[in-house]
């Protein structure tokens, strides 16, 4: 007799980016550069670090289970009510909450193939069914996804911009999709990379919520705010949805440190501005240099490129590790000739490009 049901035994766990320390230990190198996990090269806001330090003295106390002060400050910043906000230990936890709360029995989750793998893992981990629709030229095919909706479809996830491709959906494309699927399908816009976007036709999802009450927006403090280690994400939805999610949410799921750091980070929009500016310069630098090496990439509205080597990418990944450069292989997403490479500092990019030149010259 199996210890677990088939949907657990067949589950492939999420594989995170390789840590710097493990790479240096394994390959006997020092000063490795990590460009694998879409982290903020500037780190967190100094104001967030200061606030977290001040909160350390109260670690004997449970956090505010309602996140009252943080939630009210975030609501004011977003121009929504606190009742429209749900908080998570990273937006990944909110993905899990939404699946557990709203998908049951024979109901299904609608996904794009090749997108953020956590949607699929979170569904399978609790035995929920999902349907995957192929991408089209490394973009979500929203028309095909709309055609795939059935009476069993309950939840649809759209990463915008997408991870790992960096591609995005326009306002017009999203509106057509929302009109096509109807209000019964809850549509989750995962906007983890929202702050990096500069496309003029990117959807204004917060305004669209007034027209489409089934629209849920997820965002995070892990990327542009530089608080990945704190695990702090949030969702914006109509109060009824938030109320049901809060019934599933475990008490104290957002730590005191995360709440303190999040409040201070939110107040430091200058740090976010500097982060976004550095990212745009980094994307421009890589966009200029990568084609010189015979490489192509998907145009990105995020803080990374999905780089196509036009040959199996795992040997390139391993060779880069030996040069002290950590990237992210994408075979698990179906992109076997590609690595995902996030932006860093100008020095990080020079290190990457030097390593690439050496690796690609090797027969």
pLDDT digits (tens, 9 = 90+) for 37-63: 999 999 999 999 999 999 999 999 999
Global pTM value? 0.94
Angstrom distances, CA of residue 206 to CA of 219, 226, 274, 326, 343: 11, 23, 24, 35, 27
Neighbour count for residue 36 (Cβ, 10 Å): 23
What 3-state DSSP class applies to 98? helix
Domains of the chain plus CATH, in order, are 6-43+270-361 (3.90.1150.10), 46-268 (3.40.640.10)
Total count of residues recorded for the chain: 363
Tens of pLDDT, residues 302-354: 999 999 999 999 999 999 999 999 999 999 999 999 999 999 999 999 999 99
Q: For residue 1, is pLDDT > 90?
A: no
Backbone angles phi, psi at 7, to 5 degrees: -70, -20
Residue 213 · residue 183 · CB < 8 Å: yes
């Amino acid at each position: 007799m199996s210890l677990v049901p088939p949907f657990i035994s067949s589950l492939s766990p999420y594989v995170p980016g390789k840590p710097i320390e493990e790479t240096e230990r394994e390959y006997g190198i020092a000063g490795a550069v990590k460009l694998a996990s879409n982290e903020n090269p500037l780190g967190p806001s100094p104001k967030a670090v200061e606030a977290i330090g001040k909160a350390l003295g109260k670690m004997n106390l449970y956090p505010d289970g309602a996140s009252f002060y943080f939630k009210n400050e975030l609501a004011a910043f977003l121009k929504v009510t606190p009742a429209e906000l749900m908080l998570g230990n990273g937006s990944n936890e909110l993905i899990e909450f939404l699946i557990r709360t709203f998908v049951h029995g024979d109901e299904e989750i609608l996904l794009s193939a090749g997108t953020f793998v956590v949607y699929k893992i979170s569904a399978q981990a609790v035995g929920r069914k999902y349907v995957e629709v192929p991408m089209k030229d490394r973009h979500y095919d929203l028309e095909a996804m709309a055609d795939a909706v059935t009476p069993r479809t309950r939840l649809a996830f759209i990463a915008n911009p997408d991870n790992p491709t960096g591609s995005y959906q326009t306002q017009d494309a999203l509106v057509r999709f929302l009109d096509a699927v109807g209000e019964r399908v809850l549509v989750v816009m995962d906007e983890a990379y929202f702050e990096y976007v500069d496309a003029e036709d990117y959807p204004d999802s917060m305004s669209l919520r007034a027209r489409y009450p089934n629209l849920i927006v997820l965002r995070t403090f892990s990327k542009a705010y530089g608080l990945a280690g704190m695990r702090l994400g949030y969702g914006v939805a109509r109060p009824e949805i938030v109320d049901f999610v809060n019934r599933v949410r475990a008490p104290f799921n957002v730590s005191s440190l995360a709440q303190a750091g999040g409040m201070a980070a939110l107040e430091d929009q200058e740090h976010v501005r500097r982060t976004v500016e550095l990212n745009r310069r980094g994307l421009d630098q890589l966009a200029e240099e990568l084609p010189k090496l015979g490489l192509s990439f998907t145009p990105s509205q995020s803080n990374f490129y999905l780089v196509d080597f036009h040959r199996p990418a795992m040997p390139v990944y391993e060779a880069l590790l030996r040069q002290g450069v950590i990237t992210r292989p994408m075979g698990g997403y179906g992109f076997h000739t590609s690595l995902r490479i996030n932006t860093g500092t100008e020095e990080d990019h020079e290190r990457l490009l030097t390593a690439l030149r050496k690796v690609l010259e090797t027969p």
